[in-house]
Amino acid sequence: MPIKRWPMKKNTTGKQQPFLTRRAFLRSSAAAGLGAALAAGALGEDAPNQMQGASTDSRDSDHSPGDLRVALIGAGEQGRVLIESCLRIPGIRIVAVCDIWEYSRQYASGYLRKYGQPVTLYENYRELLAKEKGLDAAIVATPDWVHAEQANACLEAGLHVYCEKEMSNSLDKARSMVETARRTGRLLQIGHQRRSNPRYLHAIDRLIRERRVLGRVNLAYAQWNRSKADMLGWPKKYTLDATILERYGYGSMTEFRNWRWYKKYGGGPIVDLGSHQIDLFAWVFGTNPSSVVASGGVDTYKGREWFDNVMAIFEFETAQGAARAFYQVQTTTKHGGFYETFMGDDGSLVISEVAQRGNWAMREAHAPEWDSLVKEGLLLSEASAIQKVDTRNVFVDVRVTAEAGRWPLPVDLAKPAHQPHLENFFGAVRNGTPLGCPAELAYESAVAVLKVNDAVRSRNLIRFRPGEFRA
C-alpha cells in the first residue's frame, strides 16, 4: 500500500509557513491585548524539531484575568485549524494541549508559543484534567472514537466542551455525551461549523425558512467529491512506540494516521464529510428524515475498511408534504467539489463553505419578483452576477439553454470557517447565549449520518423510528 509523504505546509519558496500571518494575528491580538506578548522574530519556521522544550507552565504566562482558559485535546490537522481560529478571538487563551503523539504536541506548542501563548503539554488527557487548575473549557479534536470518553470526562470535570464532529462513531457513545452534558449542566457544542456560519444562517433561516424565497422546498442535493489519494504517512523519526499505540488502542501507525478508514475509529467518508452536509437537510426541511436508502462500496481502495464512495437518498415528511435529498461522497474524483443545493418550486439556492463554489439563488421564471428582496438587502441584484454565455457560432435553443440568473447572497465570511462556531461557543460560555449546535441537535444529525452505513451494508431501505432522533 503506497504511503503518502508527510505533508508540510509550505509557501511558494518552499519555506514552512505558519497558517496565521503575523499581520492578521497582530490585528486580533491587539484586540485581545496580546500584542506585547509577541517577541520580535518569534514568527518563522514551523518545524516541530525547532519546538523542543516548548512546554511551559501556563500559569506563569502573561494573560488577563477575564480570559477564558482553554485546553485542547487532539492537536492534529483539525486541532491546529481550531488553534488558528482561537488565536483570532479576543480573550481566549489555550493554556494546555494534550496529544498522544509527540509530533502534534510539539507542533501545537511551538505554534502557540510564537503567538504569545505558552502551554503545558500532556500525553494523557486524564493527567491534564487532574493537574490543570482553573480551566473554563476544553476543545476535543481527536479521532471520533475517543470523543465520548474525553468529552464526558471534561464535562464531569466541570468544563464546557467544544467537541469536533462526528460526535462519535457510535450512537450509544453519542447518547452518553448528551446525557453527561444534561446531568452536569455544562455546555457541549459539536463542531458542525456551518450552524454558525453567517452565510448559512442567512440562506437557510432568513431566505428559505422565514421568507420562503424558494417557495416549497422539496428537493436537496449535496456532494463532497475528492481526488484519489494515498494513505497518510508520517515522519519516521516520529513513529510511535508499539507500547504507546497499544496503550491508546491503535493497531498500527497506519491505522493511527488513517483512522477515518477503519471501523474501530471512524465512519469513513460518508461520516467524515457527509456529516457536515446531511446535517443541513434537516435544518432546511425542519424535520429529520423518515427513511434512507444507500449504495456504496470499497471499490477503489482495497484494504481500507470503510466505503470509499456512497450515494444516499433520504426521504422527509415535512409539514408541506414529501421531500427528498440526495447526497454523494466520492473519493476518486473532485468533480464539482463540495456544495449543497436546495430546490423549491419558486427557485433554488446553491451554497458552499467555499463561497466560489456556491453563494447564490436562482429564480424560476413564474415566481414572484425578487426586487423587494434586493431592496431589503436580502439578496444582491441579479445583474451583478449574471453569467453571459457566448453563443457566437453556436446554435442555441433558448428554451433549454438560457442560463438562469443568479442572485448572489449579500453575506460573506471574512474569517476562517470555524471561527464563528467557536465564537458562538465562547459566547455561550461567557454570556449564556444559545449554542449553534448543542449536543441534542448534533445527536439527531448523527443518527441520520451513521445510519447511511447501515443502509449501504443491508442494501435495504431503513425507516427511522419515531423517537429515534431523541437522545
By CB under 6 A, the residues from 171 to 200 that bind ligand NAD are 191, 193
Burial class (CB in 10 A: 0-12, 13-18, 19+), 440: middle
What's the min distance (Å) between Cβ of 146 and ligand NAD? 4
Does residue number 424 form part of the binding site for ligand NAD (CB under 6 A)? Answer: no
420 binds ligand NAD (CB under 6 A): no
Residues 234-273, mask of contacts with ligand NAD (x by CB under 6 A): --------------x-----------------------x-
Distance CA 143, CA 131 (A): 23
Residues 116-175 interacting with ligand NAD (rule: CB under 6 A): 125, 141-144, 146, 164-166
Minimum distance of ligand NAD from residue 192's CB (angstroms) = 7
16 binds ligand NAD (CB under 6 A): no
DSSP for 374-428 reads HHTTSS--GGGT------TTS---HHHHPPPP-EE-S----S-TTHHHHHHHHHH
Alpha carbon separation from 158 to 25, 124, 430, 433 (Å, rounded): 31, 18, 15, 19
Please pick, from the candidates 48, 55, 68, 79, the single residue that binds ligand NAD as defined by CB under 6 A.
79
Nearer of residues 97 and 187 to ligand NAD, judged by Cβ? 97
Sign of CA dihedral 67, 73, 78, 80: positive
> Which residue do the cell numbers 445527536 mark?
443
Choose one: 94-102, 336-344, 367-375, 432-440; the region binding ligand NAD (CB under 6 A). 94-102
**Kind plus residue range of the DSSP H or E element containing 341:** strand 338-344
224 is an interface residue for ligand NAD by CB under 6 A: no
Read out DSSP for 44-96? Answer: S---GGG-TT----GGGS---TTPEEEEEE--SHHHHHHHHHHHTSTTEEEEE
Residue 460 Cβ, how far from ligand NAD at the closest point, in Å? 27
Q: Is 222 near ligand NAD (CB under 6 A)?
A: no
Q: Using the rule CB under 6 A, which residue among 56, 61, 78, 381 binds ligand NAD?
A: 78
Q: Residue with the closest Cβ to ligand NAD?
A: 76
- Among candidate residues 191, 452, 149, the one with its CA nearest the CA of residue 306: 452
Q: Which residues bind ligand NAD (CB under 6 A)?
A: 73-79, 98-101, 104, 125, 141-144, 146, 164-166, 191, 193, 248, 272
